[in-house]
Amino acid sequence: MDTPNTNTPPATPGSEPRTSYLEEKAFKARTLLVFGTITDTLAADVARRLIALDAESAEPIDMLVSSPGGHLESGDTMHDLVRFIAAPVNMIGTGWVGSAATHLYLAAPRERRFCLPNTRFLIHQPSGGAGGPASDIAIQAREIVKARERIARTISRQTGKPLEVVLADIERDHWLSAEEAVAYGLVSRIIENKAALRA
């Protein structure tokens, strides 16, 4: 009869034990990563973590954002929850922050919005793939116009830019470098290391 092998093989990159270890470390560091396309699954995961971190402590939460955007309403969920919880959230842009991800990023007050030096930002109006009967297409078009105005009001409120300027800027894709994003009012400060975040 063979003796069962009781030696556990070492964790390989991407394996569950390693993932759990990294998740625990990130939680203890009060750090959240929002990377990739914004979906309802990502929004639900971020919502759970925000609520858990808020219950754990009133200390600031660092949220690193690198996303091309995605589902607007999922971005809305995260935006609203950042504003809903008691713990303050530091937004840190990295890579690129676009579309619905910019909407999430603007949930934090300006003094808590940072980015790393090579971050790019994209603001634009929402898009939609309208299809179906003409009456449904008309309804979808009205909803896109409403979403455009809502997004423009958020950008205007959070940057201090006049609403008519924002509406003109988001008519087409409007890209901003880190320096341009500071000048626009999206970002308070460009940082290069974690020590600068606490300064």
Positions marked active-site: 99, 124
For 44, residues 6+ apart whose C-beta sits below 8 A from its C-beta are: none
How far apart, in Å, are the Cα atoms of 178 and each of 90, 95, 152? 16, 10, 20
Instruction: Go through 160-187 and write b for each residue having 16 or more CB atoms within 10 A of its CB, e for each that does not.
Output: ebeeeebbebbeeebebebeebbebbbb
CA-to-CA distance for 113 and 129, rounded, in angstroms?
Answer: 32
3-state secondary structure of 118: coil
Cα distance between residue 168 and residue 160, in whole Å? 15
